Structure 1
Amino acid sequence: MPVADFKTYCQMLDRAREKGYAYPAINVTSLTTANAVLKGLAESGSDGIIQVSTGGGAFASGTALKDMALGAMSIAEHVHRVAARYPIYVALHTDHCQADKLDKFVLPLVEETERRRAAGLPNLFSSHMFDGSALPLKENLDISAKLMERFKQSELILEIEAGVVGGEEDGVAADASAKLYTTPEDTLEVARRLNGIGGRYLLAATFGNVHGVYKPGSVKLKPSILKDCQDAVAAEYGKSACFDLVFHGGSGSELSEIHEALDYGVVKMNIDTDTQYAFTRPIVAHMFTHYNGVLRVDGEMGDKKAYDPRTYMALAEAAMAERVKRAVTELRGTGTTLFIG
C-alpha cells in the first residue's frame, strides 16, 4: 500500500492505543535498511514506521555531500515507490532534530511536502520530531506550538520530547545532569500549550530511558511515571487529552517493562541500536567465513561472489528483517495491519 496518509496514520495510532500495542519505529540509513523494515513488517502482518535521523539523512546523501535533508528525501522517495508493493501501511518519520538543526533538516522536508501538496501529490513524510528536550520547557513548547500551527496545515504529525533520554544517539549526548524523568507538571503544561492548537502530536515522555546498547537489566526504567503523567492530564482535561506516547532508548529494557509502558499509552517505540547490530552481524560472519574470498591474499584473485556487496548485503537485509519481526512480536503487533486486501 502507499505510505500512510494522515487519516490512515491517525487510525493506526488510535487502534494501537485501543488495543494495547505499539508500532516499531525503525531508523534507516539506506535503501537496503529501508527494504529490511518493509520485509519484516510485511512478514509480521504489521503496519509500522520508518524513520530517518539527521545523521542517517547525512549518510544517505553520500560522504561527499552530507546533506541530511537531501538524504532523507532520497530514502523517502524510495519508500513511497516500494511500499506500494507491500500489503501493509508504513508511515515515514524523522527522528530527533534539535533546534539548531531545524533549518537544515525538518523545515526543508516540510517545505518539500508543501510543494508536493500544492501539486496534488501526497506528503513526503508523515510526521517529524522536534527534540527540544535540552531547552527550558517554555522554550521547547514555544517552538513546538509554532511547528504545530504549520504542521496542521499540511496534515503532518509532530513528535516532541519533554524530559531527556540519556546516553548518546547520532552524536547527540545527554548532559550528565539532564532531567531523565518527565513529571506530571511537565505534561500538564504540554497539554495546556498544545491541545488547543488542532492537528495531532506524539509525546516522548522520559522514564529513565537511555539511548545506546546495554545488557538486559542495566537500564532502570520507571514506567509508572507514564501512568502518573497520563492520570494528571486526564484529571485536569479529561481522558480524551491523554497522550499518544513514544518510547525512546529501549535497548536493554526488560520485556515486562516494555509491556507496562504499552499499557500506559505508548504507541510508538524507536528501535535503532538493535537493528544496527542485526544488520552488521551477518556481514561480519560472512567476512570471517570467506576471508580468502573477500580479500586477495598472497597474490590470489579472491572470489567475486564472496566480495560482491549484493551477497553480504542480502544477508544483512534478511537478518535485520528478522529483528524487525521480533520487535513487532514484543510490541504485540503481529497481524494488526489495517490493510485489507
Structure 2
Amino acid sequence: MIVSPKELFTNCYGKYAIAAVNVFTMEQVHALFRAGEKANAPFLVQITPAARNYAHANMLSKIIEAASKIYPKTVYAVHLDHGDEEHALDAIASNTYNSVMIDASHDSFDKNVERTRAIVQKAHKKNVCVEAELGVLSGIEDDISVDEKEARYTKPSEVEKFVELTQCDSLAVAVGTSHGAYKFSGGEGIQFDILEDIQQRLPYFPIVLHGGSAVNEKEISRINRSGGALNEGATGVSPEEIVKSITYGVCKINIATDTRLLWARVHREFFRDTPELFDPIVPGKKYMEANEAFMLEKFELLGATGKANQLIQ
C-alpha cells in the first residue's frame, strides 16, 4: 500500500525512522519489498536522476508497481532523490511519485528558497510532498561531487525562515554525514549539537539524514580480497549515531552506499569462487538474499519492524 510520507513521518517522529532506499535494479526492488513485507516495516523507495537515466523512469515505476502487487502487504512511499526542476516536475506530472526532493542546496539561501518554493507550489497541487535541503553534504554519489572543503553544516538560525518561506514538508540537513564511502571530515561524525538546535527551532518537523549508510568495513575488506581496490579507511554512520539521531527528529534516513557495496561484494566473490559460471541469475539471487537480510537488520536498527500495521486503515 502506497502512503504519503507525511503520514509516515507523523507516525514515526521521535520513535523510529523510515529507511529511504535508493534502487536501480529489479533485484534491489525485490529485496526491499520482500524485506519490508517480512518485517512489517514501512519504507521509502528512492529513485535518483542517475537511476532514471540508467533504467528509464517508466521502467523503474513499473518495476515498483509490480513489486507492490507481488508483496501486497508492504507499506511504502515513492520518492525522487536529489532532483532538479526538470526531474521534479516530470516526477510530479507522472502521478507515480508521492514525494520529490528539490536539491538547491548549492545555491545561496535566497535562490534555494526561490527554487524550492516553486516546486512546492506545483507539487502540493497534486498532493505530492517536497523534501528540501539546507546545507551541503560532502562526498560522491551518482552525479553529486562535493569536496570536503566546500561542505557546509546547516545553520540552525536559517531553518525556521527557510521552512516558513518554502513550505517544504521535510528538510535534509548537513550535520556531518557524507555521500558515498568516504570518511567524515575530521572523523567527528554527526554533530548532535547542531541537530538538537534544529529540532528546538522546528519541533515535530521531519528531518532527513542523507548519507545514512554504515559503510561496513568487513564488506570493504571482502570486496578488496576479491579483487576490489576500495579505500579501507572509509566509514559511514555508526549504528549508535543512527539510533540517537531519531530522538532528535530524524524521520527519514537515506541508504544507498551500503547496498552498492553489498552488490560488489556478492558479485566479486561469486565470480572469484566460480569463474566457470556466467549466468547472471545465480549471483542475482544471491544478491537479493543478501540485500533482503541487510534490510531486515536495518529495519530492526531503525525501530521500524512491526510498525507498518499502524499505518493500515
- TM-score under structure 1 length normalisation: 0.79
- Where do 1:1-341 residues align within 5 Å? 1=1, 3-4=2-3, 6=4, 9-17=5-13, 20-60=15-55, 71-86=56-71, 87-98=73-84, 102-103=85-86, 105-113=87-95, 124-195=96-167, 201-214=169-182, 218=187, 220-233=189-202, 239=203, 242-251=204-213, 252-291=236-275, 293-294=276-277, 307-338=278-309, 340=312
Deviation at 1:215, TM superposition (A): 6.7
Amino acid at match of 2:270: H
Counterparts of 1:208 and 1:266, CA distance in 2: 14
**Residue type of the alignment partner of 1:130:** I
Equivalent position SS for 1:84: helix
Distance 2:82 2:181 in 1: 18
Deviations 1:260-282 (A, max 9, x none): 21101111100000011122322
CA distance in structure 2 between the aligned counterparts of 1:325 and 1:194, rounded to whole angstroms: 35
> Could you tell me how far apart the structure 2 residues matched to 1:228 and 1:282 are?
41
Q: Contact conserved, 2:80 with 2:91, CA < 8 A, in 1?
A: no
Could you say what secondary structure the match of 1:275 adopts?
A: helix
Q: Which amino acid counterpart does residue 92 of structure 1 have in structure 2?
A: V
SS at match of 1:132: coil
- C-alpha distance in structure 2 between counterparts of 1:194 and 1:134, whole Å: 16
- Aligned partners of 1:219, 1:129: CA distance in 2, in Å? 27
Q: Distance in 1 between matches of 2:201 and 2:270?
A: 52
Decide whether the 8 Å contact of 2:139 with 2:182 is kept in 1: no
Q: Are 2:6 and 2:169, in contact at CA under 8 Å, matched by a contact in 1?
A: no
SS state of the match for residue 178, structure 2? coil
**Which amino acid in 1 is paired with 2:271?**
M
For the structure 1 residues 340 and 155, does the alpha-carbon distance in structure 2 shift closer, same or farther, using more than 3 Å as the test? Answer: closer
CA contact (8 A) 1:219 1:253 kept: no
Mapped partners of 1:157, 1:246: distance in 2: 13
Structure 1 Cα separation of the partners of residues 40 and 68 of structure 2 = 14
Cα separation, 1, equivalents of 2:82 and 2:201:
26
Residue aligned with 1:96, SS: strand
Change in Cα spacing, 1:179 to 1:83, as seen in structure 2 (3 Å) is same
Task: Note the C-alpha offset of 1:93.
Answer: 0.6
Q: Distance in 2 between matches of 1:192 and 1:51?
A: 26
Identity value in percent: 24
Amino acid at match of 2:176: G
CA contact (8 A) 1:207 1:225 kept: yes
- In structure 2, C-alpha distance between the alignment counterparts of 1:329 and 1:88, rounded to whole Å: 16
Is the alpha carbon distance of 1:214 and 1:178 closer, same or farther for their aligned partners in structure 2, counting shifts above 3 Å?
closer
Distance 2:145 2:308 in 1: 35
| Residue of structure 1 in register with 2:233 after alignment | none
Partners of 1:178 and 1:266 lie apart in 2 by 24
Pick which of 76-85 and 202-211 moved more: 76-85
Asked if the contact 1:54–1:95 (Cα under 8 Å) also holds between the matched residues in 2, the reply is yes
Contact 2:19 2:44 in 1 (8 A): yes
CA distance in 2, matches of 1:308, 1:324: 25
| Matched position secondary structure for 2:131 | strand
Further displaced range: 85-94 or 186-195 = 186-195
Partners of 2:257 and 2:205 lie apart in 1 by: 26
Contact 1:159 1:204 in 2 (8 A): yes
Taking structure 1 as reference, are residues 166 and 31 closer, same or farther at Cα in structure 2, changes over 3 Å only? same
Q: How many angstroms does 1:107 deviate by? A: 1.6
Displacement of 1:219: 5.5
- In the alignment of these two chains, the number of paired residues is 288
Provide the C-alpha distance between the structure 2 equivalents of 1:337 and 1:85, rounded to a whole number of angstroms: 17
Does the 8 A contact of 1:167 with 1:173 survive in 2? Answer: yes
Query: Which protein has the larger Cα radius of gyration, Structure 1 or Structure 2?
Result: 1
The offset of 1:176, in angstroms, is 4.0
The structural deviation recorded for 1:340 is: 5.0
